[in-house]
Amino acid sequence: MANCQETLNEMYAYLDAELAAERATEIIGHLKVCTDCQSAYEFHAEFKTIIRVKAQNDELSEGFLDRLRECFGDDALNDA
């Protein structure tokens, strides 16, 4: 089973379904028992959803996605 650091490091890969099935199962196992990582997962999942919805509705100001990528990295916003 994954530990907290591994789970947090691979959170966006998990959210983007980029992990191998076995690794995703390890992350799921950790999320089932760790409330701190569950909270982080819920935050990041909701964050990605909000960004995706707002981007589709053209509600983002010029350069906003660039600033988000600078803060969170390119991979964090690939679906936005």
User: How do residues 27-70 score in pLDDT, each as one tens digit?
Assistant: 999 999 999 999 999 999 998 888 888 777 666 676 877 887 78
Q: Global pTM?
A: 0.67
| Rounded to 5°, angle at Cα 24 from 18 and 28 | 135
pLDDT digits (tens, 9 = 90+) for 7-34: 999 999 999 999 999 999 999 999 999 9
CA nearest neighbour of 45 among 76, 5, 1: 76
Q: Where are the domains of the chain?
A: 4-75
